[in-house]
């Protein structure tokens, strides 16, 4: 009863756990078939959607000579209806009549996802399993019940859903109808039924002429497996392929150098490849313009060296990859996002680079090890080889501040930087550290900073030296997370004191930086109530000793 009450309170949407999983005594059924029926629900595994019931009613109307108003609609409207249901349901409408059988062939996109087949009960079991292991509630459950009943039932749902998806794919492949499909999206579990997925991809590329392909392979619950393609790759004739955009997840990387039209490549959760395999993408995919690497791994030395002077890549995103990247030459690169992945420049051979989203979290949060693993890094290490950037987003985080002023005179200069966001600054840091960026950006026009609350104790403060600095282009300074602390007020006073063209200063208690893609943002703020006494006190502290700029500054508290 205690366990059931716990789950009703923490997850009211989850059905009560089977008693055979609860460690409350000898209540488990002796026959596992009882649990299978209770967990699997028999034929309830494949969801009986409202769409399928409507189609059955339509068949009954036709058989009884009733009024079939749906089929009376013109083809254009029927195609609009079919585009709003999942592709598996749309394909099944071909059973209604010869006219309906023709309509799905005209759909420009096929979206076949195993997640559309899995019932709600499956998701409840997955959430229950996650709750057991991540919220520490496993002590309430019998370990043998989790191992012998819960996980096998989750996998049983996955296998049955894959069999249903495979039947749909095989039916699609067996149909000899001519199709013209622009986009194919596949999501499937890695089981012994995945050969038909390779056949579908090959047919879609060789016969249907698709230009966009997304194939995401997911391992069954707690099984670490990857999907492999045939030895010839994705299709039989890659040189004649019209493929322009490719997204692969959970797959071994097939050969890509023969796809002459490929311009966009997204790789997600790719298992350990050699550094040479990643480097080959830059050097051999000569038409590639956009490359995203998300949660990818690398073998051996864990370093990918990019030296591709002939590359056409304009956009590069590396997100939480388990390797570092050394950039030597990407002459056409315009936009870079390196998020929780080390990226180092070995030269300044990036004349087109204008936008950079840079996020690093450094440090160990265990109290006994924090000081031992502490690092002290300077801004030059990151920005020395990127003098031409105009838009910069920086997220430097960690339990302790690790960015420091240069110990010697620095030659770092960002003369073209116009827009700057410093996001998620831990409130325990000396939040005045972004002064370093203002000092090296003489043309800066917009400066936004977001301070994130954290639980750590305030750290060391930076000992700033007086600076005879003037900035004549900065017009807007916005700080979200402003609490009126000493270091926050110091940064505001410094900005107002050195910027002669400043027009607007906005200080908000609540707010955050909302990402709009990888290289743009919007400051989302909430109006807070400041008393007149608080405003007066803060205004006095901020303006005390600050020389007035050429034009009046609009100072807002929110």
pLDDT at 49: 46
pLDDT at position 93 = 66
Two tokens, residue 329: 């030459």
Q: What is the pLDDT of residue 281?
A: 95
pTM: 0.82
Burial 63-87 (b: 16+ CB within 10 A, else e): eeeeeeebeeeeeeebbeebeebbb
> What's the average pLDDT block by block, 10 residues per block, for the chain (558 residues)?
46 51 43 35 38 55 56 68 66 60 68 87 81 58 61 87 89 76 92 91 92 94 83 91 96 92 96 88 94 91 90 97 94 96 88 96 76 80 93 95 85 93 96 95 97 90 89 95 93 92 93 95 87 86 70 79
Residue 386 to residue 353: CA distance in whole angstroms: 7
Tell the residue number behind the tokens 């990918």, with chain if given.
304
**Sheet of 324-329: strands edge to edge?**
303-307, 324-329, 343-345
Chain centroid offset of residue 28 CA: 41
Strand 403-404, strand 377-378: pairing: parallel
Exposed e or buried b for every residue in 270-307, given b needs 16+ CB within 10 A?
bbebebeebebbbeebeebbebbbbebebeeeeebbbb
507 strand-pairing partners: 479, 557
CA distance 212 to 263: 10
- Report domain extents, the chain: 379-458+465-557
Q: What is the pLDDT of residue 4?
A: 45
Cα distances (Å, whole numbers) of residue 385 to 95, 297, 326, 414: 62, 26, 12, 10
d(CA 447, CA 478): 7
Residue 92 pLDDT? 66
What is the β-pairing status of strands 335-339 and 324-329?
unpaired
What is the Cα gyration radius of the chain? Answer: 29
Quote the pLDDT of residue 423. 97
Nearest-angstrom CA–CA distance, 480 and 513: 8
Which 3 state secondary structure label does DSSP give 144? Answer: helix
- For residues 314 and 331, the answer to whether their CB atoms sit within 8 Å is no
Rounded distance between C-alpha atoms, residue 149 and residue 287, angstroms: 50
Q: What is the pLDDT of residue 2?
A: 39
- Helix (H) / strand (E) element for 52: namely helix 50-63
Residue 347's CB: how many other CB atoms inside 10 A? 10
For residue 416, give both structure tokens: 């073209």
Please state whether beta strands 290-294 and 335-339 pair in parallel, antiparallel, or not at all (unpaired). Answer: unpaired
Sign, CA torsion 107/108/112/115: negative
Positive or negative torsion for Cα 23, 26, 32, 37: negative
Please tell me the distance from the alpha carbon of residue 317 to that of residue 322, in angstroms, as a whole number: 14
**How do 521-526 and 510-515 pair as beta strands?**
antiparallel
The predicted pLDDT at position 15 comes to: 52
């Amino acid at each position: 009863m205690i366990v059931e009450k716990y789950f009703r309170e923490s997850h009211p949407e989850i059905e009560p756990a089977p008693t055979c999983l609860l460690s409350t005594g000898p209540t488990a059924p002796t026959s596992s078939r009882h649990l299978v029926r209770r967990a699997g629900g028999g034929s309830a595994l494949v969801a009986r959607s409202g769409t399928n019931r409507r189609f059955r009613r339509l068949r009954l109307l036709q058989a009884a000579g009733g009024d079939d108003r749906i089929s009376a609609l013109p083809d254009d409207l029927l195609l609009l209806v079919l585009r709003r249901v999942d592709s598996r349901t749309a394909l099944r409408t071909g059973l209604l009549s010869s006219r309906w059988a023709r309509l799905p062939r005209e759909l420009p996109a096929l979206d076949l996802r195993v997640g559309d087949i899995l019932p709600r009960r499956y998701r409840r079991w997955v959430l229950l399993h996650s709750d057991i292991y991540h919220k520490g509630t496993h002590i309430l459950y019998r370990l043998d019940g989790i191992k012998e009943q819960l996980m096998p039932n989750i996998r049983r749902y996955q296998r049955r859903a894959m069999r249903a998806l495979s039947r749909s794919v095989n039916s699609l492949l067996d149909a000899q109808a001519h199709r013209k499909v622009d986009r194919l999206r596949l999501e499937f579990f890695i089981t012994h039924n995945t050969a038909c997925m390779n056949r579908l991809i090959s047919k879609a590329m060789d016969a249907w002429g698709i230009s966009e392909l997304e194939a995401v392979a997911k391992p069954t619950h707690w099984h670490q497996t990857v999907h492999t393609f045939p030895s010839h790759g994705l299709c039989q004739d890659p040189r004649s392929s019209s493929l322009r955009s490719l997204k692969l997840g959970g797959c071994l990387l097939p050969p890509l150098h023969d796809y002459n039209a490929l311009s966009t490549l997204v790789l997600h959760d790719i298992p350990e490849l050699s550094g040479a395999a990643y480097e080959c993408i830059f050097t051999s995919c000569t038409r590639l313009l956009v490359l995203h690497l998300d949660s990818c791994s690398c073998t051996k030395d864990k370093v990918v060296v990019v030296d591709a002077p002939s590359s056409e890549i304009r956009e590069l995103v590396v997100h939480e990859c388990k390797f570092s990247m050394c950039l030597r030459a990407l002459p056409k690169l315009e936009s870079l996002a390196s998020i929780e992945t080390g990226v180092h420049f070995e030269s300044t051979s990036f004349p087109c680079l204008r936008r950079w989203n840079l996020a690093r979290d450094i440090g160990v949060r265990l109290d006994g090890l924090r000081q031992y693993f502490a690092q002290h890094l300077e801004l030059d290490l990151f920005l020395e080889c990127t003098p031409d950037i105009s838009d910069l987003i920086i997220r430097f985080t960690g339990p302790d501040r690790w960015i420091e002023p240069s110990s010697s005179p620095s030659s770092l200069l960002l003369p073209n930087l116009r827009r700057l966001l410093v996001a998620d600054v831990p409130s325990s840091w000396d939040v005045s550290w972004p002064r370093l960026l203002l000092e090296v950006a003489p043309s800066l026009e917009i400066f936004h900073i977001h301070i994130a609350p954290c639980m750590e104790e305030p750290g060391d403060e930076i000992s700033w030296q007086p600076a005879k600095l003037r900035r004549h282009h900065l017009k807007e300074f916005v700080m979200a997370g402003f609490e009126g602390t000493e270091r926050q007020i110091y940064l505001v006073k410094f900005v107002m004191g050195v910027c002669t063209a400043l027009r607007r200063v906005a200080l908000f208690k609540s707010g955050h930086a909302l990402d709009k893609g990888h290289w743009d943002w919007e400051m989302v703020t909430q109006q807070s109530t400041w008393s007149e006494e608080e405003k007066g006190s803060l205004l006095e502290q901020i303006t005390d000793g600050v020389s007035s700029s050429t034009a009046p500054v609009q100072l807002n508290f929110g």
